[in-house]
Chains A and B, each alone.
Chain A
Amino acid sequence: MSAIEPVAKPTQTGTTDAGLADGSSTDGGPDKRGRMIIQAAQVHKHYGAFHALRGVSAQFHAGEVTAIIGPSGSGKSTFLRTLNGLESHDGGEIRIDGVKLGTDTRALDVVRREVGMVFQNFNLFSHLSILRNITLAPMRVRGLTREAAETRALSLLERVGLRAQAAKYPVQLSGGQQQRVAIARALAMEPKVLLFDEPTSALDPEMVNEVLGVMRELADTGITMLVVTHEMGFAREVADRLVFFDQGQILEDTSPHAFFTSPAHERSRAFLSQVR
């Protein structure tokens, strides 16, 4: 169980280009809870008659790695997508680092700069080179010069073990490589929070580990991560916290150890018996 490609180990202190998280502790110790960074209170979401989120409340702290699991259609991806405004919520309140998410598009711009996202299907920009995929947003949104953006992009590619692929196009890369680029692309914006929406679900089995390896390294650097996943091994070993969704609600919000050894609800037990 290790990353397939050697990933350059980020030095824990003094890196300027890696740009992970803010000043929260990076020693990866057992207690790395920082200040509260995401606050969701009684969030509701409807798709027509379907009630996708039924009053979801949760707080996430800086440096925390949370695995979000649950059966499909339980609302876990929808919840994740409301956190950066890709889906609007129609009830309740979401605050990202104190900024309230709502109809105000300016607040949305602020939030999207702080919250990065990695998608199930990678969604790399197919008409741009790998390097350009990573430099686009820092140049357009953060106003970096091309040189600065490329320096940052190359060091991030180095970290995910893909520096040699910088000039290629997404279609020339394997799924696992594309997902690692997508992680680098999200990191290039120096987000405070990184959302993963089933990052390994679209991958061939032999590519899952190389992506999980990168995420594992990332978790150790102290960035806040919310990971919707079906990888129970990852949830158990890497996450600090486990949130179990069922029918649009959070059924359990506990430690991975507690969840996997003694699930509190009948539904969680049924779910676990199916995925194991």
Chain B
Amino acid sequence: MNWTRRHPVWVMTAAMLGLLLFLWGMALPLSLAPAPIGPAATQFAEGTRVTVALTVVAGVIGTVLGFLAGVGRLSKVRAVRWLSSFYVWLIRGTPLLLQILFVWLVVPTLLPGGIVLSDFACAVTALALNAGAYNAECVRAGILAVPPGQVEAARALGLSPLQIFQDIVFPQSLRVALPGLANNLASLVKDSSLAYAISVVELTMVGYRVQAESYQPVPVFLTSAVVYLILTTAFTTLTGALEQQMDRGTRRSEATA
């Protein structure tokens, strides 16, 4: 086993930090580009940071929501099952843009006075709720894919239900759930562009503004597209490494007995 496979968490952390450093430093090479990109380099960099922030924060919350709802849909308690199913049904059955506008325009009127949600917070809330519903389906499929014999063996060994979930069901469900979760995260990078509708200054909004000033949509949107591609590629590479790690025990590969 090489170092990468033995310390995948460290490798992935390092890769994530590398990605962030790259994002923070991207204004420098961009500023060397000809107009209209060069002069707007810091705006692009700022917009990219907002896009990544939206993705990461909504992705983390959405993953937690996805696990709660996914486990909830398989709960023994009927009310929990019903609530989880309702959430998934509601979110998956309505457009994301509508959800973003709803959180931005309607939720503030429901909140007690004094609590003000920033545009960014509204976008994160809507994106997280959306990602959570789609993640819930992946998590549910993952849990259902764990063979019953695995749980029986754990029960026969005297493990408690909580231990069975944490040691057996949860790790094994990840193998099936992870590709879907990774897919949803990559989608989230792109879906975050809808936050531009509620005036969050992310990458798409920056591109829109710069082309409006320069009347040169082609180089501007090409730049935006390349940045999105770099981001989605980075996220899929990271989650791909994670999948590799989770894949242990499914291949006979290295030196079969």
Contacts and interface: CB of A to CB of B under 8 A. Distances in A.
Interface stretch (A26-34, A52-60, A117-125, A249-257): A117-125
Contact of A169 (B150, B163, B249): B249
A137 B156 CA distance: 10
Which 9 A-B pairs rank lowest in CB-CB distance, beginning with the nearest? A123-B153, A112-B158, A137-B157, A169-B249, A117-B156, A123-B149, A141-B158, A113-B158, A127-B249
Task: Bin chain A's interface residue count.
Answer: 20 to 34
B160 A173 contact: no
B167 A140 contact: yes
A184 interface: no
Nearest to B151: A123
Interface of B: 147, 149-150, 152-160, 163, 167-168, 171-172, 175, 246, 248-252, 254-257
A145 interface: no
A128 interface: yes
A169 B257 CA distance: 10
A86 B157 CA distance: 11
B2 to A, nearest CB: 15
A185 B150 contact: no
B171 A127 contact: yes
A115 B150 CA distance: 17
Nearest to A110: B158
A112 B156 contact: yes
B156 A172 contact: no
Contacts of A177: 257
A2 interface: no
Contact of B152 (A119, A126, A165): A119
Interface string A125-167: 1111000000011001100000000000000000000000100
B153 A125 contact: yes
B257 A140 contact: no
A235 to B, nearest CB: 23
B149 A172 contact: no
A170 B249 contact: yes
18 contacts: A85-B155, A86-B152, A112-B155, A112-B158, A115-B156, A123-B147, A125-B154, A127-B175, A127-B248, A136-B159, A136-B167, A137-B158, A140-B167, A165-B257, A169-B248, A171-B250, A174-B257, A186-B157
A119 B168 contact: no
A135 B251 CA distance: 22
Nearest to B160: A109
Contacts of B251: 171
Nearest to A141: B158
Contacts of B157: 112, 116, 136-137, 141, 185-186, 189
Contacts of A140: 159, 163, 167
A35 interface: no
Name, among B158, B163, B246, B256, the residue most crowded by chain A CB atoms within 10 Å (CB to CB). Answer: B158
A109 B154 CA distance: 12
A152 to B, nearest CB: 14
A168 interface: yes
Nearest to A133: B153
Interface in A60-74: none
Contacts of A121: 149
B155 A86 contact: yes
A186 to B, nearest CB: 8
